[in-house]
């Protein structure tokens, strides 16, 4: 499992499993970021690297190499890292930490096609291996569109940048989307796996940090009181929502033709579904966890009458939170005849003993009233209510809501008596927030990911098999939508989606929660 | 919101806290931190507790003593105003000092851990102390005592699971670097040397830890700089040297690799306290280290 320092049988006498104060520090290595001038890199990656250094998690001799087209020298890049750290890092800026990082910062300018650039990258890494002692340990972070994966992989291979000397490692990080259907996902995988073995590939879905995954696992499996209810005896249906309040902004080029289902439902929502619905893994090793997620994804499907079990929409012009906003078809760069959906709702059934008869409703959209991601288990009504009917008119359904963002936490909804002489029962909420009970700034998803990559910890992020299973669930829906002649139904920006989505869930006797 | 209570009782403090909390709307406090201090160190302790409360929202109770013939309790409660938890300052007059536990018990947070912290002088036998008895974890700071070395030994003699000392916390970063260095070198350590300011308590602990773990004699050398300034581990492959010429940055060198700089500063009190509050389980490595320290001092 851990590939770290298993060169021989040497055991470090200073290391002690009881010694839990000691952070795990990765061995010396270089992190190479492709597409380092992008937004993500500036807002998330570089601050995360600094935060790790600040927490003392980075090895002495760590090197950060930026690769991008821009005509920069090392110091220009260092300046950009410096600025983005100051602006976006979670931990306070400290000169001594910065100094440690600065020594290992390099920049290579060039395009993915340029042999010169990759020769220079090779020379830079060789120099770092000697000067900083990074020992041939390299992590390649592809913060670039998937179309760039092929050329980069070819160049890495051509210039021998991923050579194996037996005691070094090479790893690669790729970002979603992992393809746009089953076919393309497989092709993408072939490109990456030609050069890297499965345990060397880290796929990150940046919405779903490892922290979130582990929070969900802890809630479900560290407690006795929830798991007994976690099945079709008590749960009537599950709603998984990921709503964004923004539109597509300047991403028309990427988004149009792709749509929200491919963009987030295939990865993020189906991962949440897998985590919420899977059986208990034998332990929390990545392999065991993956086995359970794979099982539940393999058992999931969208009921075949797609007209009744799915809904899609496009935001129309409207008022969103007090601001007048354009409709999707009016956004710059979008074809007015576009049939790309910005709202997607899908019912997923899971064919196993635990979940038979419990529909999972997945919904995700742009231009919703507010930004929220949550998984809500809605419970059945009590079999008998020993109250007069008028006492319980305001009693809704009991619910257990795992709030993912913002304000990660758990909400329980249940009925309570309204104070007073009358017997009247009303729905109330009991809230728990991670931010309130634990450290205010828990590590960012990227911090965890980069650390895992450097340590060679097996990722909790999906392997290729899960990616393919997710496409298998959604491909039929996407094909069905593609076969429809009309454009998706319009919904006013700043509302909770089109009428067809409300009708879809109402047919089953439920209603969408207002998250 | 600040509430001043003169000549009060635990019941009144409790009632005021409940009322104030409801107004502030906050919830989810995870622990009670009792700070037993004197007026002299009051401000530094409060500041550290406030800062670490951002990481661990807590009810902080500061206990100080006032010389007086009469037993009397004064309290000041602070809730809200950017404070992540509650802050209760108790002034115990006269003989009330002996009954601190009776005042504290009713105002501890239900069901969650209690941590007691003596930022300077504290009792030798923590677990037997009235305040210490209330706590799941007891934090001392030998460096804040008159005779730090002696304080370490005294506490070691009475060590109970859950006792910890900030001199140990000050070493975490040093220890992490040493562990990482040995990981890289992958060679047996044959000798060790610790250079520090004369009579430095963390250095004593560090040397004891190295002796326990490595089973080799550890040489102590007095240096001119503050705190621990250098650790050298001699291995069959060469020397591992971590040397801190000035506060902030250290030189890190291991055999077969170029020397490098690493950030290594003396950590502020807030950092130390935050690290201590992270774990509630007994620290067995610390326990075995102080046990070794005690055994070797008794031999000497």
Active-site position among A237, A268, A301, A384: A268
Q: Is residue B61 located within the same domain as residue B206?
A: no
Single residue among B165, B188, B205 that ends a domain in this structure: B165
**B34-73 pLDDT, tens digit each:** 999 887 888 888 888 887 777 777 889 999 988 889 899 9
Give the residue from chain B lying closest to A8, CA to CA: B186
**A484: confidence class by pLDDT, cuts 50, 70, 90:** very high
CA A14, CA B174: separation in Å to the nearest integer?
A: 12
Work out the percent of chain B whose per-residue pLDDT is above 70: 97
Residues of A at the annotated binding site for NADP(+)? 69, 176
Query: What does pLDDT average to over chain A?
Result: 87
Q: Is residue B81 located within the same domain as residue B61?
A: yes
Q: For chain A, count helices (H), then strands (E).
A: 17, 18
Q: For residue A362, what are the β-bridge partners?
A: A240, A346
3-state secondary structure A390-443: HHHCCCCCCEEEEEEECCCEEEEEEEEECCCCCCCEEEEEEEEEHHHHCCCCCC
Q: For residue A348, what are the β-bridge partners?
A: A360
Q: Is residue B99 located within the same domain as residue B230?
A: no
Counting the structural domains of chain B, the total is: 2
Query: What does pLDDT average to over chain B?
Result: 88
Mean pLDDT of the B223-249 span: 90
Q: Which residues of A touch B186 (CB under 8 A)?
A: 5, 7-8, 10
The structural domains of chain A, with segments of one domain joined by +, span 30-175, 210-506
Of B54, B214, B285, the CB nearest to A18: B285
The whole-model pTM stands at 0.79
What pLDDT, on a 0 to 100 scale, did the predictor assign at position A162?
Answer: 84
Q: Is residue B25 located within the same domain as residue B158?
A: yes
Is the pLDDT reported for residue A119 higher than 70? yes
Question: Which domain does B255 fall in, by range?
Answer: 172-264
Is the pLDDT reported for residue B112 higher than 90? no
Contact B230, B253 (CB under 8 A): no
A138 belongs to the catalytic site: no
3-state secondary structure A126-171: HHHHHHCCCCCCEEEEECCCHHHHHHHHHHHHHCCCCCCCCCCCEE
- CATH number for the domain spanning B89: value is 3.40.50
CA A181, CA A146: separation in Å to the nearest integer?
A: 13
Is the pLDDT reported for residue B85 higher than 90? no
**A250-304 pLDDT, tens digit each:** 888 888 888 999 989 998 899 999 999 999 999 888 788 889 999 999 999 999 9
Mean pLDDT of the A321-337 span: 88
Q: Which of residues 448-467 of A touch B (CB under 8 A)?
A: none
Of B28, B182, B281, the CB nearest to A432: B28
Q: Which residues of A touch B175 (CB under 8 A)?
A: 14, 19, 21-22
Single residue among B135, B165, B195 that ends a domain in this structure: B165
User: How many residues comprise chain B?
Assistant: 300
**B266-276 pLDDT, tens digit each:** 888 888 888 88
- Determine whether the interchain pair B265/A94 forms a contact, defined as Cβ–Cβ distance below 8 Å: yes
What pLDDT, on a 0 to 100 scale, did the predictor assign at position B26?
Answer: 45
What is the least distance, in Å, from the CA of B107 to any CA of chain A? 19
- Determine whether the interchain pair A131/B173 forms a contact, defined as Cβ–Cβ distance below 8 Å: no
Is the pLDDT reported for residue A6 higher than 50? no
Q: Is residue B109 located within the same domain as residue B186?
A: no
Q: Domain spanning A30-175: which CATH class is it, in words?
A: alpha beta
- Determine whether the interchain pair B252/A59 forms a contact, defined as Cβ–Cβ distance below 8 Å: no
Report which of residues A168 and A354 the model is more confident about: A354
- Determine whether the interchain pair B57/A99 forms a contact, defined as Cβ–Cβ distance below 8 Å: no
What pLDDT, on a 0 to 100 scale, did the predictor assign at position A4?
Answer: 43
Is the pLDDT reported for residue A395 higher than 90? no
Mean pLDDT of the A330-346 span: 93
**A459: confidence class by pLDDT, cuts 50, 70, 90:** low
Contacts of B230 by beta carbon, 8 Å cutoff, 6+ apart: B193, B194, B195, B223, B241, B242, B243, B244
Single residue among B136, B165, B194 that ends a domain in this structure: B165
Is the pLDDT reported for residue A219 higher than 70? yes
**B14: confidence class by pLDDT, cuts 50, 70, 90:** confident
Contact A402, A275 (CB under 8 A): no
What pLDDT, on a 0 to 100 scale, did the predictor assign at position A356?
Answer: 96
Is the pLDDT reported for residue A234 higher than 50? yes
**A305-324 pLDDT, tens digit each:** 999 999 999 999 988 777 88
Mean pLDDT of the B181-192 span: 91
What pLDDT, on a 0 to 100 scale, did the predictor assign at position A272?
Answer: 93
Of B26, B263, B284, the CB nearest to A97: B263
What is the DSSP track for A456-494? TPPPSS--HHHHHHHHHHHHHHHHHHHH-SSPPEEEETT
Which CA distances in Å does A66 have to A39, A83, A128? 14, 15, 13
What pLDDT, on a 0 to 100 scale, did the predictor assign at position A460?
Answer: 66
Of A25, A103, A133, the CB nearest to B257: A133
**A2: confidence class by pLDDT, cuts 50, 70, 90:** very low
Query: Taking Cα atoms as reference points, which of B70, B95, B123, B125 lies closest to residue B103?
Result: B95
Q: Encoding tokens for residue B139?
A: 């934090």
What pLDDT, on a 0 to 100 scale, did the predictor assign at position A269?
Answer: 93
- Determine whether the interchain pair B28/A437 forms a contact, defined as Cβ–Cβ distance below 8 Å: yes
Q: Is residue B119 located within the same domain as residue B244?
A: no
Buried b (16+ CB within 10 A) or exposed e, B142-167: bbbbeebbebbbbbbeebeebbbbbb
The domain made up of A210-506 is a member of CATH 1.10.630.10: no
Which CA distances in Å does B3 have to B15, B39, B49, B87, B88? 12, 20, 19, 10, 9
What pLDDT, on a 0 to 100 scale, did the predictor assign at position B12?
Answer: 86
Is the pLDDT reported for residue A176 higher than 70? yes
Q: For residue A171, what are the β-bridge partners?
A: A139
Mean pLDDT of the A329-343 span: 92
The conformation of residue A262, written as its DSSP 8-state character, comes to I
């Amino acid at each position: 499992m851990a590939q770290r320092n298993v060169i021989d049988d040497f055991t470090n006498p200073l290391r002690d499993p009881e010694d839990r104060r000691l952070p795990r520090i990765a061995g010396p290595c270089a992190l190479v970021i492709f597409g380092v001038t992008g937004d993500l890199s500036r807002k998330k990656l570089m601050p995360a690297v600094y935060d790790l250094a600040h927490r003392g998690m980075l090895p002495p001799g760590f090197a950060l190499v930026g690769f991008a087209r821009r005509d920069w020298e090392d110091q220009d890049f260092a300046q950009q890292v410096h600025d983005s750290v100051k602006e976006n890092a979670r931990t306070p800026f400290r000169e001594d930490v910065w100094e440690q990082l600065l020594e290992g910062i390099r920049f290579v300018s060039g395009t993915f096609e340029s042999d010169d650039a990759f020769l220079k990258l090779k020379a830079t890494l060789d120099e770092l291996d000697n000067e900083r002692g990074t020992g041939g340990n390299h992590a390649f972070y592809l913060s670039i569109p998937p179309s760039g994966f092929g050329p980069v992989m070819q160049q890495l291979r051509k210039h021998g940048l991923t050579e194996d000397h037996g005691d070094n490692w090479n790893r690669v990080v790729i970002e979603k989307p992992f393809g746009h259907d089953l076919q393309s996902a497989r092709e993408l995988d072939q490109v990456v796996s030609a050069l890297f073995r499965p345990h060397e590939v880290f796929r990150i879905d940046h919405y779903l940090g490892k922290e979130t995954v582990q929070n969900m696992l802890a809630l479900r499996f560290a407690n006795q009181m929830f798991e007994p209810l976690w099945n079709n005896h008590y749960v009537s249906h599950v709603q998984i929502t990921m709503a964004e309040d923004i539109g597509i902004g300047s991403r028309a080029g990427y988004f149009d033709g792709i749509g929200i289902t491919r963009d987030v439902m295939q990865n993020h929502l189906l991962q949440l579904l897998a985590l919420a619905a899977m059986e208990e893994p034998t332990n929390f090793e990545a392999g065991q966890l993956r086995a359970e997620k794979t099982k539940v994804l393999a058992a999931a499907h969208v009921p075949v009458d797609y007209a009744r079990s799915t809904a899609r929409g496009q935001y129309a012009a409207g008022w969103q939170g007090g601001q007048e906003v354009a409709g999707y078809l009016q956004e710059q760069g979008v074809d007015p005849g576009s049939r790309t959906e910005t709202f997607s709702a899908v019912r997923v059934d899971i064919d196993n003993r635990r979940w038979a008869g419990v529909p999972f409703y997945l919904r995700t959209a742009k231009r919703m009233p507010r930004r929220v991601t949550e998984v809500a288990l809605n419970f059945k009504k009590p079999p008998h209510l020993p109250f007069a009917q008028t006492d319980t008119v305001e009693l809704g359904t009991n619910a257990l809501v795992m709030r993912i963002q913002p304000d990660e936490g758990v909400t329980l909804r249940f009925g309570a008596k309204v104070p007073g002489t009358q017997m009247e029962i009303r729905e109330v909420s009991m809230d728990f927030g991670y931010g309130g009970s634990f450290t205010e700034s828990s590590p960012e998803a990227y911090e965890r990911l980069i650390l895992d990559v450097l340590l060679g910890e097996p990722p909790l992020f999906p392997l290729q098999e899960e990616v393919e299973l997710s496409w298998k669930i959604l491909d039929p829906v996407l094909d069905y939508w593609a076969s429809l002649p009309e454009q998706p139904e319009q919904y006013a920006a700043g509302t909770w989606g089109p009428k067809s989505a409300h009708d879809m869930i109402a047919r089953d006797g439920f209603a969408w929660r207002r998250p | 919101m600040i509430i001043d209570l003169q000549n009060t009782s635990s019941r009144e403090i409790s009632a005021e806290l409940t009322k104030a909390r409801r107004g502030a709307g906050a919830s989810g406090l995870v622990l009670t931190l009792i700070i037993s201090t004197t007026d002299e160190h009051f401000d530094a302790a409060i500041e550290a507790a406030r800062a670490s409360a951002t990481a661990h929202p807590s009810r902080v109770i500061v206990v100080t003593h006032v010389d007086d013939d009469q037993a009397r309790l004064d309290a000041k409660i602070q809730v809200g105003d950017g404070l992540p938890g509650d802050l209760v300052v108790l002034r115990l007059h006269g003989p009330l000092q002996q009954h601190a536990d009776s005042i504290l018990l009713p105002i501890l947070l239900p069901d969650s851990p209690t941590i007691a912290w003596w930022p300077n002088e504290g009792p030798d036998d923590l677990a037997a102390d009235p305040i210490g008895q209330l706590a799941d974890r007891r934090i001392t700071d030998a460096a804040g005592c008159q005779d730090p070395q002696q304080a370490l030994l005294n506490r070691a003699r009475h060590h109970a699971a859950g006792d910890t000392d900030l001199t140990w916390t000050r070493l975490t970063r040093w220890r992490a670097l040493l562990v990482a260095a040995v990981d890289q070198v992958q060679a047996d350590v044959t000798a060790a040397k610790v250079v520090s300011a004369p009579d430095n308590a963390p250095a004593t602990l560090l040397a004891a830890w190295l002796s326990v773990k490595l089973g080799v004699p550890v040489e102590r050398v007095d240096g001119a700089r503050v705190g621990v300034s250098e650790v050298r581990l001699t291995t069959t492959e060469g020397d591992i040297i971590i040397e801190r010429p000035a506060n902030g940055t250290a030189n890190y060198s291991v055999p077969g690799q170029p020397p490098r700089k690493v950030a290594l500063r003396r950590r502020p009190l807030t950092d130390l306290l935050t690290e201590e509050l992270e774990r509630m389980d007994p620290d067995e490595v610390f326990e075995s280290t102080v046990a070794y320290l005690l055994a070797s001092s008794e031999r000497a």
